[in-house]
Structure formats: structure tokens, C-alpha cells
Amino acid sequence: MPAKKWVKFFFIVFLTCVNSVAIFNWRIDSLGLFKTNAYIGKIVNEVTNNKIVNLFEKNFNYGILRKEIIQNTLHKVDWIVLGSSRSMALRKRFFLKEADTFQNYSIPAASLKNYMAIVSIFKDYQKTLPENVIIEIDPTLFNTLNREDKNRFLNDDYIRLLNEITGQVINKSPFNIDFIKKLYTTDYLFTNIEFLRKRYISGFEINTVTDTSDYLGYLIEPDGSRHYSLAQKKASSEIVERQAVAIGKFSPLMGGFNELANVSMFELFIQYLTSHDVNVIFYLPPYHPITYDLFLKHDTYKIIAEVEKYILTYASRNDIVVLGSYDPQKLHLVTTDFVDGVHTQASVPERIFKELKERGK
């Protein structure tokens, strides 16, 4: 075969393979980067019908999940949580009464934009703001490098609230070529293949459970809170401490974090809530003792101390309750209180929010 025909042949094969990857990634789209998917829809259907769902796959687009839960919640919600994965274990029963209404809208690696988007969606569908908002203050809220691609579908919701807060007219988010590139990546291909494998093992069904005490997988409750897998909850101290050391030495979302950014927008957001008579509560989730010590010794990560100082000062000046602390020693926490370097056992927020319960909110 002449050289030109070989080149043409391989070029056609190459384009066919590349386009096949893109079509497969678009069709499966396990993380919901480009569209909603049936898996998220089934979860929403179950939790909004007061069922506890077993998540055979925990890595999906929580931004879409939270948005669809808000859109499908028919009753008034008085308490909400805005946070990252570090707040997902916060449950209604830890500090509220049965008659209270509560939803945990935490999103892994959440940004300030995500927080604002959730409030925007909530207001749009509930026709009002929540009476009480618990805001997790992860240090990375103030890191401009903290961006979460998986939640790009919340951008227009964020802009809608931003326009209301600032009084400006900002156009919807522009088309982002980076997301199209994702269609063609082999890493997303493998992610989607693994998603299909897990769906096959589960029988392509969403399973519900009634007992959360010893279930092996990840669970999500009707109040939006999540349970860690049994393996995480029962991990040995040696495993947890090894993970604490690893995250203490390298934390991706803390990279390039040399100064507090987003402060002006953060304060505008809080002022917007409080000016509408929303009761705001700040939550500082603690770090593992090893992770915390390593952060304070790190040239960049030590900024967490500055973040906590700023939050305490701002809260005091604006009469906002602050619960928790990044410093585990202040809360008398040890290795058995954690599942890794940055995530606590559910007993920790339960203990911390007991203070609200004792105050009678």
C-alpha cells in the first residue's frame, strides 16, 4: 500500500477511535459533566421520598444532585447546609427536632460560587430564602485556585444571584472549551467504564436500606447527609494516620494558596443573607492532629490559621455564631475521631452541633 494510503488509513482509524471515545463519554457521562443522567435522577427520586439510598458510585456530580433535590422538594425547608465533603456527615437528628425541616446541600470540593448557586436555586424554587444557613468555612473558599469543573452547570445559577447582590448585569457564563476537551480524554473514558462495571454489579438498580449501622457502601439520607463506607468508618488508626500524613504534605486544593482571595464576595454574600433576616452559622470542620500540625509547618498551607482568625473576627463583628475549629486540640480530638486527614467521623459534628441544641438554636 502506497505511503499516502497508509497515512490516510491511519488518519481515518485515529479519527474513528477519538470520536468513538467522545461519543461513549457523552453517552455515559457518569460524572454528569455535560448533562443529567438517570443515576442521579433515581437517587433524587428515592431521597425525596424519604428513602436512604446506597450509592454504588460516590463520584458523580453532586452539584446536579443538589439542584435536582431542591427542584423536587415540595415542602418548606427551614435549615440548609452549604459545605464541602467535610460537612456531608452533618445530619438533622444531631441537633434539630423532628418537626424541623433540614437539607444538607454539601458538594465535594465546593467553591464560594457553588454556595451562592445553591442559594440562588433554593430561592428560585422555594420562593424564599431559608431561615437558617449553616456555612462550612473550608480554607479553600478563599483560594482562587479552588475550581471544581464538575459543577459548571451551577454557573448560571451563581451569576443570577451575583447580579441580584451586586445590582449589575453579568451575562451567563461563556462556552468553555475545556469541557469539550474532557470528552476526548482517556481518563474520563476509564472513569465511565468503571461506572458501568459498578452499575452492572449492582444490577443497574438503585438500592435503598433501612439500617445504616453496618452497611458496607456509601449511603445518602433523605436529609442530604452522607455516610462513609464501613471500610472508612472502621479503618485502623495506622491507616488513618498514614492518610493524614499524606494530605498534610500534599493537598491539591491548597496549592498556590498564598493570600485570602474572594473576601469581598464572601462578605457581600453573608451580608445579603443577614440583610434578609437569615440566621447564619459558621462551621469550621477540624483537621486530623497530624494533618493540622503539618499544615502549620508548611510554607503555603499554614494560611489556615489566618483563615480561622479572619472568620472569628468577622463573625464577632457581625454577631454570627461560629462552631468548631480547624485545630483538633481545641475540641480534644484524636485519630479515632477521623476517617482520614480532613474528614471526621459523624460523631464529631454531632458533638460540635450539640452546642446549638443546648442553646435551643
Q: What is the model's pLDDT at position 172? A: 62
The alpha carbon dihedral of 99, 284, 228, 191 has a sign of: positive
Total-model pTM: 0.87
Strands 79-82 vs 132-136: parallel, antiparallel or unpaired: parallel
Q: What is the model's pLDDT at position 230? A: 81
Nearest to 338, CA basis, from 221, 238, 253: 238
Q: How many CB atoms lie within 10 A of CB 2?
A: 7
Q: What is the model's pLDDT at position 61? A: 81
Q: What is the model's pLDDT at position 176? A: 59
Residue whose entry in the numeric block shows the C-alpha cell 460537612: 87
**Burial class of residue 205, CB neighbours in 10 A (0-12, 13-18, 19+):** exposed
Q: What is the model's pLDDT at position 151? A: 59
Nearest to 32, CA basis, from 172, 202, 186, 188: 188
Instruction: Provide the Cα torsion 62, 67, 72, 75; round to 10°.
Output: 100
Q: What is the model's pLDDT at position 206? A: 67
Q: What is the model's pLDDT at position 259? A: 86
- Mean pLDDT in order along the chain per 10 residues (361 residues): 68 78 80 72 89 76 91 94 96 94 95 95 95 96 70 82 85 61 79 75 65 73 91 91 94 81 95 97 98 93 95 97 97 96 96 80 54
d(CA 71, CA 74): 8
Q: How many CB atoms lie within 10 A of CB 121?
A: 23
CATH of domain 62-175+219-359: 3.40.50.1110
The alpha carbon dihedral of 264, 284, 122, 55 has a sign of: positive
Q: How many CB atoms lie within 10 A of CB 184?
A: 13
Give the three-state DSSP class for 349.
helix
